[in-house]
Amino acid sequence: MLPANRHSFSLPQPAHIVRIVRENYRTVTFTFDLSWPDAGPGQFLMAWLPGLDEKPFSLLHNDPLQISVAAVGRFSRQIQQLHSGEQVWLRGPLGHGFQSQPGPMIGIAGGYGVSPIHFLATWLRNRRERHVIIGARTARDLLFAERFRAAGVQVHLCTDDGSAGEMGVVTVPLNPLLAAMPDATIYACGPTPMLEALAAICREQHRGCQLSWERYMRCGFGVCGSCARREDGWLACQDGPVEIIPG
């Protein structure tokens, strides 16, 4: 069973970096001297660097806390300048994460979406079958393939340019997996176009899926409205970030 998710106001707690691992040319994993044993896969934290900003990051692990950060802008570049022993303020756990379903797992991850999907795969380690499809632009953008293999997960890679795995987007390796595993649940995290494509496939096939959406957010607990979906007011921070779409 995955732990019950909490999504409530919490104050930032000081945490010290105890380990830094470089995952690829732009992504780094931080381990902190803090644990949130009740936090589950798909939930996130807000990391605060006083004087700069506070940004959401998916949990890679809860005990001890781990996050992976891709350097793409001001905050993510700045946090990557920190060294072991330095302090970050962390607030959470926030949001609703993945819900475990019986049967095989098909995880689908684009970019740093590998982070919550890896956490989920370790929670579901007793499942008969666990597959993950990792998609990226090129081989150098791929993340966590070895981590998944080490956790006993069957890994399927795809890249836009064919420099690693199959050439194309995640739906290329997905279609044969879906045909072979009619009872599998899809759990996905990645860029919006990827999630929209997956939602369309699942709708067509009347399959349930769990999709973790990334939306710009400020407060992280449903007050500011920054992450509201225009069509229906769904709040990524409080109602999600994982959306459970029934089959």
Contact residues toward ligand FAD (CB under 6 A) are 44, 55-58, 67-70, 72-76, 111-112, 115, 214-215, 217, 241
Q: How far is the CB of 95 from ligand FAD (least distance, A)?
A: 7
* Closer CB to ligand FAD, 206 or 230, in the complex: 230
Instruction: List CB contacts of 119: < 8 A, sequence separation 6 or more.
Output: 40, 41, 42, 58, 59, 60, 61, 62
CB of 152 to ligand FAD, least distance (A): 23
- Rounded Cα distance between 12 and 64, Å, is 17
Q: Is the peptide bond before 93 cis (omega within 30 degrees of 0)?
A: yes
98 versus 207: smaller Cβ distance to ligand FAD: 98
Question: Nearest to ligand FAD by Cβ — which residue?
Answer: 73
Shortest Cβ 214–ligand FAD spacing (Å): 4
Q: Are 188 and 195 in contact (CB under 8 A)?
A: yes
What is the C-alpha to C-alpha distance for residues 90 and 111, in angstroms, rounded to an integer? 22
| For ligand FAD, the closer CB: 96 or 207 | 96
Q: Between residues 21 and 72, which has the closer beta carbon with respect to ligand FAD?
A: 72
- Burial letters 147-163, b for 16+ CB under 10 A, else e: bbeeeebebbbbbeeee
H and E: helices and strands count for the chain: 5, 14
Cβ proximity to ligand FAD, 43 vs 177, nearer residue: 43
Least distance (Å) from ligand FAD to the CB of residue 179?
Answer: 31
Least CB distance from residue 72 to ligand FAD, whole Å? 4
Distance (Å, whole) CA 236 – CA 97: 11
